[in-house]
């Protein structure tokens, strides 16, 4: 397929399964990254079988979207013999790039998948131009920078590396309290290897002190009067700062989240797509407020700009959970003759107003004034999971439109 990367930045979205892939394609991703059943740094999502991966590549390429496959775990001796066949399969499937960390995997990829680009993973911890140049000499087409880099450091990396070496950086999603994921807490505390995609995220847990002669007496840890989630990182949100990232020389803007839902993929991809399109048309205008507001409608930890701008606390010490202000209440299955056919996701009531996310449209309000069950009988609410609800509305809804509402205390 032709290379879509001319002078515009690439929007790179996560895809943990086929539903997430379709959301990324529908809402404007230029490229997606995903994993097969081995060697990917996320084991929580279902990931893709070989057959599904072939289908995913075909679907993406039909839309002009590139596919990058993660091979960025740190493999053990017993796994090495599996790599040649797997890498050859990925090349045969038509994937556009392999995301790699391990030097041995890089060497094997050049031998068994020589036609596939090499993108060096954030797991490699690249924070300087010498490391970026070293990987370029090893055959890398792109480096995915460590989240610990600042804007100034990115600009220097760009200035002191070959122009055809692409630079990818994260713009949204979860951050790790360790150095780009190289953490052993999960191994020690849960027997799950973070460097093999199985992190239990013990950094999110609440900790207390115990004095050895007073077992069972848990003394909370405080930081300047705040709470005791001392290792808990905030989430990243850079939607207000895309111009700075692009001026620094970032080629690809990456959304974290292969373990997240298709709704998360839809919202984040849509928001950053609109933000980039606005920036292209009006480079001196701040991002529209509604785009920023969209990113508050997904489950997230308190946002920060991470290390990019400096000076902002990156830890959320008060609580270890998520901010969940909105929830999905229904998805549109079809629309005809003034009737939208909805599939329920969470309870909602007649008389509410839904906030609708639809491909190609800014979010809009939709009154839920006339609701019916699948037999056409009027109903006051939709309390049952995945029940079919008929909504009478003069505004046509596209198939796949997502209806949301603000959560209440009893939601």
Q: What is the dihedral of CA 12, 17, 23, 26, to 10 degrees?
A: 80
- The Cα–Cα gap between 10 and 89 comes to 26
Start and end residues for every CATH 2.40.30.10 domain found in the chain: 326-406
Q: What is the mean pLDDT of residues 232-246?
A: 93
CB atoms within 10 A of CB 193: 18
Give the 3-state secondary structure of residue 264.
helix
User: Which residues neighbour 342 within 8 Å (Cβ) at sequence distance 6 or greater?
Assistant: 330, 331, 332, 333, 382, 388, 389, 390, 391, 403
- The Cα–Cα gap between 53 and 199 comes to 24
Report residue 17 as tokens: 């399964």
- Residue 180's pLDDT is 61
Give the mean pLDDT of the chain. 89
Q: Calculate what percentage of the chain has a pLDDT beyond 90.
A: 73
- Residue 208's pLDDT is 72
Higher pLDDT, 180 or 386: 386
- Residue 194's pLDDT is 65
- Residue 5's pLDDT is 43
Report residue 232 as tokens: 């808990």
The domain at 10-178+234-304 falls in which architecture?
Alpha-Beta Barrel (3.20)
**Overall pTM surpassing 0.85 (yes/no):** yes
Q: What is the mean pLDDT of residues 250-279?
A: 97
- Residue 347's pLDDT is 97
The pLDDT confidence band at residue 73, using thresholds 50, 70 and 90, is confident
Scanning 138-172, the segments in alpha helix (DSSP H) are 151-159
φ/ψ (deg, to 5) at 38: -150, 155
- Residue 318's pLDDT is 66
- Residue 3's pLDDT is 39
Start and end residues for every CATH 3.20.20.70 domain found in the chain: 10-178+234-304
pLDDT in tens, 321-335: 788 999 999 999 999
Q: CB–CB of 102/67 below 8 Å?
A: no
pLDDT at 319 over 70: no
Burial-class residue 220 by CB neighbours within 10 Å (0-12, 13-18, 19+).
exposed
pLDDT at 316 over 90: no
CATH fold of the domain at 326-406: Elongation Factor Tu (Ef-tu); domain 3 (2.40.30)
pLDDT at 171 over 60: yes
């Amino acid at each position: 397929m032709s290379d879509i990367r001319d002078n515009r930045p690439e929007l790179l979205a996560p895809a943990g399964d086929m539903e997430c892939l379709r959301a990324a394609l529908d809402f404007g991703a230029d490229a997606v990254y995903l994993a097969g059943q081995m060697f990917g740094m996320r084991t929580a999502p279902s990931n893709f079988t070989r057959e599904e991966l072939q289908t995913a590549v075909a679907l993406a390429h039909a839309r002009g979207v590139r596919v990058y496959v993660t091979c960025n775990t740190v493999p053990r001796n017993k796994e090495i013999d599996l790599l040649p066949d797997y890498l050859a399969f990925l090349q045969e499937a038509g994937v556009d790039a392999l995301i790699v960390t391990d030097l041995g995997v890089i060497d094997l990829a050049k031998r068994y998948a020589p036609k596939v680009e090499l993108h060096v993973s954030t797991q490699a911890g690249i924070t300087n131009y010498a490391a970026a140049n070293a990987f370029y000499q090893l055959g890398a087409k792109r480096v995915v920078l460590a989240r610990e880099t600042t804007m100034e450091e990115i600009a220097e990396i760009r200035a002191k590396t070959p122009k055809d070496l692409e630079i990818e950086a994260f713009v949204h999603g979860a951050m790790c309290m360790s150095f780009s994921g190289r953490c052993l807490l999960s191994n020690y505390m849960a027997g799950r290897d973070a460097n093999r995609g199985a992190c239990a995220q013990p950094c999110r847990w609440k900790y207390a002190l115990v004095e050895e002669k007073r077992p069972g007496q848990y003394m909370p840890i405080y930081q300047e009067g705040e709470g005791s989630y001392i290792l808990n990182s905030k989430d990243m949100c850079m939607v207000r700062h895309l111009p700075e990232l692009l001026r620094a020389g970032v080629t690809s803007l990456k959304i974290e989240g292969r373990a997240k839902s298709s709704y998360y993929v839809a919202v984040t991809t849509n928001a950053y797509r609109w933000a980039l399109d606005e920036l292209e048309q009006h480079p001196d205008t701040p991002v529209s407020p509604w785009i920023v507001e969209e990113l508050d409608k997904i489950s997230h930890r308190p946002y920060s700009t991470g290390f990019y701008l400096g000076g902002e606390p990156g830890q959320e010490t008060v609580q270890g959970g998520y901010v969940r202000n909105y929830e999905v209440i229904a998805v549109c299955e079809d629309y005809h003759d003034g009737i939208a056919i909805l599939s329920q996701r969470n309870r909602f009531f007649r008389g509410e107003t839904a906030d609708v996310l639809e491909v190609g449209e800014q979010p809009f309000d939709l009154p839920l004034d006339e609701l019916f069950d699948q037999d056409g009988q009027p109903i006051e609410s939709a309390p049952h999971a995945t029940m079919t609800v008929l909504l009478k509305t003069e505004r046509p809804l596209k198939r796949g439109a997502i209806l949301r509402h603000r959560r209440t205390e009893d939601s």
